[in-house]
Amino acid sequence: MPELALLGGTPVRTKPFPAWPIWDEKDVEAITRALKNGKWGIAPPEQSEVARFEKEYAAYHGAKHGICVHSGTTAIRIALQALGAGYGDEIIAPAYTFIGTVTPIIDVGAVPVFVDIDPRTYTIDPAAVEAAITPRTVGIVPVHFGGCPCDMDALLAIAKKHNLWIMEDAAQAWGAQWNGTGVGHIGAAGIFSFQSSKNVNAGEGGIVLTDDDDLSELIRSFSNCGRSSQGVWYGHYRIAGNYRMSQILAALLSVQFSRYPEQHRRRESNAQYLARKLAEIHGFTVLERRPQVTAHAQHLFIWRYDRDAFGGLPRAKFIEAMHKEGIPISPGYSIPLYKQPVFLEKRFDPKHAAQRVDFGSIQCSATEKACAEEALWLTQPILLGETSDMDDIVAAALKVRDNAHLLLER
């Protein structure tokens, strides 16, 4: 049996996985074009890189409107403001997500209500959503986690029954589809992130999509100093920030996005191959993909680790051994969001409505398990390589499993 790299043996792999970001002369040309144009901020529509990207991105998802801003977190904030979320309103969100899903809820004065994920998909559990609804609930923020669309049929039915809006956090789900429809405008609105780790990346950036004309006007206003499309430049109709995207960023984003369809095909094919291979290994459960998920953005490849099948080897030790074999897997989030100091210690306005929540008493069992012992993540650049890269991941996992007893004896 080959010796584990952790015990001094030869690693399965020494070659690096694909680097990220990916760029070439086209990106340089686009940035240069925007630079030389001299319109770095606001630009007339026919010269606006931002306006062009908004149209292109919205069309790709089948949405009517796109509004670019400078981050995904900001996009959530203004979408919530435009939906009218405010003081004391309750908004339901999953406990297993990036904090950027939830801080805007606090920012607008509303109360985040954390609910559990479905352990099969790591997306928000519709039954838990329904159980969390109170007379104060105004909306749901489902997260298409890892690039996998949530069960939108179930969520839309719940929203309709209880008269709630849905604002999709599609920060990780560019081009993902539920039943053939692009995510981000299945609910009232949805947002995407272009932060540097994301599959569509310009360093920073975000966009809101919606099919609703009035909502689009409001979202635009909240991103643009409270202006109105009908009003004069120095007419301000609501308290709002300046969250506009720069033309230089949009120029880069356009070129980056032009590579997306090809990169997406590659990630999908590698992820599906890897899922089939890992599913054959006892002790691994790859997250489920429902038949309605007609496109998965594959931001994260996630599978569940069962330490009992590995002779009781703790996940941390498994990960350490995989790293030594040359496979950069991650345990993902180490604690549910509601256990972050900001919530446990309620580090926000002492008069905020969310002070009434006892975050310490929340228990979402699937989330806790994912954080503490179960989740294994691979990030998206790894899926941009060759099939043989996927084989290395599988070979390393088998090698660690077959030698697990040696790690336990230590």
Ligand X SMILES: *Cc1c(COP(=O)(O)O)cnc(C)c1O
Tell me the C-alpha distance between 19 and 6, whole Å.
25
Piece of the chain touching ligand X by CB under 6 A; list 60-68, 167-175, 324-332, 401-409: 167-175
Residue 387: Cβ-neighbour burial (10 angstroms; 0-12, 13-18, 19+): exposed
Q: If binding is defined by CB under 6 A, does position 169 make contact with ligand X?
A: yes
For ligand X, give the closer residue by CB, 178 or 284: 178
Piece of the chain touching ligand X by CB under 6 A; list 93-101, 105-113, 130-138, 337-345: 93-101
Contacts of 307 (CB under 8 A, 6+ apart): 283, 313, 314, 315, 318, 373
Looking only at Cα atoms, what is the longest distance across the chain? 75
Q: If binding is defined by CB under 6 A, does position 183 make contact with ligand X?
A: no
Q: If binding is defined by CB under 6 A, does position 206 make contact with ligand X?
A: yes
- What is the nearest approach in angstroms of ligand X to the Cβ of residue 147? 10
- What is the nearest approach in angstroms of ligand X to the Cβ of residue 107? 12
Q: How many residues bind ligand X (CB under 6 A)?
A: 14
* Angle (CA) 266 316 281, round 5°: 50
Half-sphere exposure of 187 (CA within 13 A, CB side): 31
- What is the nearest approach in angstroms of ligand X to the Cβ of residue 199? 11
Tokens of 339: 């256990």
> Under rule CB under 6 A, which residues in 111-150 are in contact with ligand X?
143
Q: If binding is defined by CB under 6 A, does position 223 make contact with ligand X?
A: no
Among 66, 94, 100, 175, binds ligand X (CB under 6 A): 100
- What is the nearest approach in angstroms of ligand X to the Cβ of residue 377? 12
- What is the nearest approach in angstroms of ligand X to the Cβ of residue 169? 5
Among 72, 119, 126, 283, binds ligand X (CB under 6 A): 72
For ligand X, give the closer residue by CB, 193 or 380: 193
For ligand X, give the closer residue by CB, 370 or 397: 370
For ligand X, give the closer residue by CB, 4 or 371: 371
Q: If binding is defined by CB under 6 A, does position 172 make contact with ligand X?
A: yes
- What is the nearest approach in angstroms of ligand X to the Cβ of residue 272? 22
Residue owning tokens 């008269």: 163
Among 48, 121, 193, 256, binds ligand X (CB under 6 A): 193
**Residue 171 in contact with residue 100, Cβ under 8 Å?**
yes
In Å, how far are 265, 274, 306, 376 from 369, measured between CA atoms? 31, 23, 11, 12
Question: Is the dihedral angle over the CA atoms 258, 263, 265, 271 positive or is it negative?
Answer: negative
- What is the nearest approach in angstroms of ligand X to the Cβ of residue 143? 5
For ligand X, give the closer residue by CB, 11 or 331: 331
**Rounded to the nearest 10 degrees, how much is the dihedral formed by the CA atoms of 345, 341, 315, 406?**
-90
- What is the nearest approach in angstroms of ligand X to the Cβ of residue 320? 26
Among 30, 43, 92, 97, binds ligand X (CB under 6 A): 97
DSSP state of 177: E
- What is the nearest approach in angstroms of ligand X to the Cβ of residue 159? 20
Among 81, 89, 92, 101, binds ligand X (CB under 6 A): 101
Q: What share of the chain is helix, strand, coil (3-state, %, to 5)?
A: 45, 15, 40
Contacts of 160 (CB under 8 A, 6+ apart): none
Among 195, 270, 285, 298, binds ligand X (CB under 6 A): 195
Q: If binding is defined by CB under 6 A, does position 377 make contact with ligand X?
A: no
> Under rule CB under 6 A, which residues in 256-315 are in contact with ligand X?
none
Tell me the C-alpha distance between 343 and 358, whole Å.
9
Residue owning tokens 């040359």: 326
DSSP state of 47: G
Residue 286's closest CA among 127, 394, 399, 396? 394
The residues binding ligand X (CB under 6 A) are 71-73, 97-98, 100-101, 143, 169, 171-172, 193, 195, 206
